[in-house]
A and B are shown apart, each in its own frame.
Chain A
Amino acid sequence: MTNVSSNRQPMKLQTRRTLTAYTFLIVPLLFFISIRIFPTLYAFSLSFMTQDHTSGTIDNYKQLLQDPVFWKSVLNTGLYVIVTVPLQMALGLIIALGIQRVRHFRWFYRMIYFLPYITSIVAVSWVWRLMYDQNTGVFNQILTWLHIPPQGFLGDPNESLLSVSAVMIWQAMGFSMLIFMAGLEAVPKHFYEAAQIDGASKWKMFWKITFPLLNPTIVFLAVTGVIQSLQSFTQIQNLTGGSAANAGGPLNSTLSIVVYMYKNAFTDFNMEYASAITVVLFIIILLVTLIQLRILNKSYEY
């Protein structure tokens, strides 16, 4: 302990610190435990029951292991993560940097790029569906004009996942942009000034100063981005689901783990099986996050 004021009574200070910490944490922690932890444990316990109420079985898990639809959803979810997270972060960063460089109309650009994130998913999904429409959609109109054959997009199992991913990226990059904006502003200006005096180029400044100092931001966006992407649901549900279509289709090509769980819980009323899916998902997310934190979290000396 190299604390300045700890000379006289180090133990007492430490205990007091701990006490303070927990005083501040007690209400939030209680809240978390009752709102998140307990319900989760309840949901997890359901996974050990089957529909005819026999408890203490791992039948659901056995069924899960052999369920080809479940594994397809795992594959799809992995693809969603790999495709969307890096792209939305990269785009968000590029836009945030670009906005920082210009002098006028910053608020306008920020607002427009943020719009996709704030617009209601229902309205937005239907606009996208119309744009993707194989026969009359504007994308195919453009492709035809460029003499490229029309594509199936949401209707083609080979393109559907990418089509949905495009919508996810479109929505999420504004969010990345916002966080990067905050992160960029938090970089102390005197670093840039010092580097400029030393004659560093813009490119070098970015890689040696900005990028490293954005590390906490990048870690944050990567970890939360992956966690959220692993739980993809609303865009898929709205773009491929509804009364006239099959959520997660066509042929389960866009099905994610959470969409599959939702189907089991609320369309098939098989809460128990759905809970088992949730448990497996939780384990996946936990493992991925721990690995990520290990790799990404480096501290930088100032």
Chain B
Amino acid sequence: MKKKKREIGAVFIHIFLLAGVMIVAFPFIWMILSSLKSISDFYNFSFLPKKIDWSGYQYIFQETEFLRWYWNSIVVAVTVTISCLIFNSLVGYVLAKHRFPGAKIVFILILSTLMIPTEMLVIPWYVMGSDFGWVDTYWGIMFPGLIEAFGIFLMRQFMLGVPDDILDAARIDGMGEFKIWWRIALPQVKPALSALGIITFLGNWNAYLWPVIITATDNMRTLPVGISLFSTADAGGIKWNLIMCMSTMAVIPMIIVFLFFQKRIVEGIAMTGVKG
């Protein structure tokens, strides 16, 4: 009896979720379908392409530096994500689990940096970047994002949930603080780490304003910058089908990263909530 109730309940939830899926995914599906349209087909504003046209994809692979942009975006996003995962969790751990004078001030100081829109920092960053010769380099694109307050905040919140007794037990055993962080605290917050990984990767994958300012040549550009080259009305009209092609291709690594990490968020159950 109870099982049947659960099954019916599950079906309802499935229906509800599927309805949401159709609404949520609609613009996305349109984007993919549009990438297969020719430019004039686009102006018909029909949902489905009249004829499947691969010329958009052909163009971006052959006539532009698309692959290079793709690679650049991967390098930047991966490096920054690794850096953020390490440093954000380290700082978050210290702020959550250590009581020391000035802890609150440091936390607020770091948190306050969240409140400044990056649009305003772009010019001082550029001055810094060009003084040190980082213009048009990977380091130039990456340096402002290697640690940031959002991730620290997230990690701190989740580190708060790590039981103190486990940590103290390790300390009594004579473990060094660094090892405690690496071996004990981190595994406890795997779900949060995975979430942070996804968010950081994504933020850097789609970042636009800073990369466009710091890059100068075509082969250092990242994907969003490349896409924007085709989105002005002035230079011969907005090349819709190219934008859609590039955007569709751009989503793929994100989906891979997401599928990879989301499993770990779920698998985290194994480590959390373990008794004593």
Contact = CB atoms under 8 A, between A and B. Distances in A.
Interface of A: 3-5, 14, 17-18, 20-22, 24-25, 27-29, 31-32, 34-40, 42-43, 95, 98-99, 101-103, 105-107, 109-124, 126-128, 130-131, 136, 170, 174-175, 178-179, 181-183, 185-190, 216-217, 219-220, 223-224, 227, 230-231, 233-234, 242-244, 258, 261-262, 265, 271, 274-275, 278, 281-282, 285-286, 289
Nearest to B195: A182
Given A17-B98, A182-B195, A281 B168 contact: no
Contact of B191 (A119, A186, A188, A274): A186
Contacts of A42: 124
A122 B227 contact: yes
Contacts of B202: 117-118
Nearest to B196: A182
Given A28-B90, A35-B143, A178-B195, A123 B243 contact: yes
A210 to B, nearest CB: 13
A230 B143 CA distance: 25
A118 B206 CA distance: 8
Interface centre among B28, B119, B227, B243 (most CB of A within 10 A): B119
Chain B, interface residues (CB within 8 Å), range:
35 or more
B203 to A, nearest CB: 10
B28 A39 contact: no
Contacts, number: 257
Contacts of B24: 112-113, 115-116, 170, 174
Contacts of A128: 27
A101 B91 contact: no
B273 A119 contact: no
Nearest to A232: B117
A280 to B, nearest CB: 11
Contacts of B275: 190
B59 to A, nearest CB: 16
A53 B167 CA distance: 56
B28 A181 contact: no
Nearest to B266: A185
Contacts of B255: 111, 115, 118
A46 B259 CA distance: 45
B42 to A, nearest CB: 10
Interface of B: 9-10, 13-14, 16-17, 20-21, 24-25, 27-28, 30-31, 34, 45, 87, 90-91, 94, 98-101, 103, 106, 109-117, 119-121, 123-125, 128, 143-144, 146-147, 149-150, 152-154, 157-158, 160-161, 168, 171-172, 177-178, 191-192, 194-195, 198-199, 202, 205-206, 208, 223-224, 227-228, 231-234, 240, 243-244, 246-248, 250-251, 254-255, 258-259, 262-263, 265-266, 268-269, 272-273, 275
A188 B273 contact: yes
Contacts of A98: 13, 16-17
B98 A21 contact: yes
Interface centre among A40, A110, A178, A261 (most CB of B within 10 A): A178
Contact of B115 (A121, A187, A242, A289): A289
23 contacts: A27-B87, A31-B147, A39-B124, A40-B121, A43-B124, A98-B16, A98-B17, A110-B258, A112-B24, A113-B20, A119-B247, A120-B227, A120-B246, A122-B243, A128-B27, A136-B45, A182-B192, A227-B114, A227-B115, A243-B233, A275-B120, A285-B115, A286-B112
A136 B42 CA distance: 13
B114 A224 contact: yes
Contacts of B27: 116, 119, 124, 127-128, 131, 170
